[in-house]
Amino acid sequence: MSQAPTDLSADSVAATRQSNTLNDPHLLWMLSPVMPLLPVAAIALYLWSGSVWLLALPLLMGYLILPIVDLLVGEDHSNVDSAKLDQLQEDPYFRYLTYLAIPSHFITLLALAWFVGTQPQTWLTFTIAAITAGGYSGLAINTAHELGHKDTKLERLLARIVLALPGYGHFCIEHNAGHHRDVATPEDVASSRMGESFYRFILREIPGTVKRGWEAEKKRLQRRNNALWSWHNEILQSYAISAALYVGLIAAFGAIMLPFLLINCVWAYLQLSSANYIEHYGLLREKNSDGRYEWCKPHHSWNANSIFSNLALFQLERHSDHHANPTRRYQSLRNFHGAPQLPTGYFGMYLVAYIPQLWYKVMDQRLLAVPHIAGDLDKVNIDPARRKSIYKRYAPEQR
């Protein structure tokens, strides 16, 4: 079932304009297309200084510096004035930033491949470079996410092109036709369940999204009387770019590209899975009397208003509005009063998610405190394998 655009009333939106950094056409928004170039600077600093710490700076940025900056800089809960929302939505400045991010992603992967393929390597420098490539190819998936939701042929084409970097060409068709249809239901492989660890989730999510993406593309092509194995297949278009890119890198830099590209792809997939895991944990859409799920609403996604990481991620963290209004551009996404809120930005929550017991301690009570759930486990998307233990712990009277 497709999702209808959803808007909350003006009274339910935190409408104070204040000095809203996130909604101003400000140079700070350049962080999203510029941040992917950080590994290029790190390579230059390493070659100049020989310091492995400087080579690892992009990883330190994602896994240490950004979580700290999010906590120090804080959050912005304000929204653009309703009267200016349409004007902001159509401002081309923000669209051009997504275009600018694409060459940034390609430059970074090519620079890291050059570094690995031409410079003396230790196991440590190789590992740092390969994981860095994967982490920043994960950022490329985020750029493709923003582009792939739009209704212009150019933006959808650009999404397929940038998805070639991590070899994840099935993402857009799966995400739009699968995840947005099934989100916050037991049927969605990309919505994590209460009690499900990140590591169990990825075993379900990664193969499940590949399968669902191909099924969705097959149906799309059948509606147009096109063959699955043809150039009309948008997944194959992106995979073909990946193949050309990878073959070119192997030809240019040798067999060392094989483990480098493998790590690049796997780590990028894990970054996407990290985002998917935290975005809908335990949230559940109710079924209507006809057996269909209700329309997706802002309270079916976890939201975050961390200023810095939103600037770095094309405001992906305002996920509640994104799922309620999927075609809305990133600069126009709003905060909704009452939507489930993560305790910090995505980069910090990734670290929490990687330690299951810490994740449960931080998130389970927060999940049960969501207003529309109010402790009722029947309104929670629960991992079937943990259902009995969760009911016994949190609501023995509901068993």
pLDDT tens, position by position, 252-288: 999 999 999 999 999 999 999 999 999 999 999 999 9
Determine the residue type at 113: A
- The pLDDT confidence band at residue 220, using thresholds 50, 70 and 90, is very high
Domain ranges of the chain: 10-351
| Tally of residues, the chain | 399
Helix ranges (DSSP H) in the chain:
31-34, 38-49, 52-55, 57-60, 66-73, 85-89, 92-118, 123-148, 153-162, 171-174, 180-182, 198-223, 234-253, 257-279, 307-312, 319-324, 346-353, 356-368, 387-394
Q: How far is CA 124 from the centre of its chain?
A: 28
- The pLDDT confidence band at residue 80, using thresholds 50, 70 and 90, is confident
Residue 169, token pair as written in the block: 């060409």
pLDDT on residue 22: 47
Residue predicted with more confidence, 243 or 85: 243
pLDDT on residue 395: 84
- Flag whether pLDDT at 14 surpasses 80: no
- The pLDDT confidence band at residue 11, using thresholds 50, 70 and 90, is very low
Q: What is the mean pLDDT of residues 145-167?
A: 97
Q: What is the mean pLDDT of residues 143-172?
A: 97
- Flag whether pLDDT at 20 surpasses 80: no
- Flag whether pLDDT at 2 surpasses 80: no
Q: What is the mean pLDDT of residues 348-355?
A: 98
pLDDT on residue 399: 62
Share of residues in the chain with pLDDT > 90 (%): 87
Residue 194 has phi, psi (to 5 degrees) of: -60, 130
Closest CA to 306 of 350, 351, 349, 345: 345
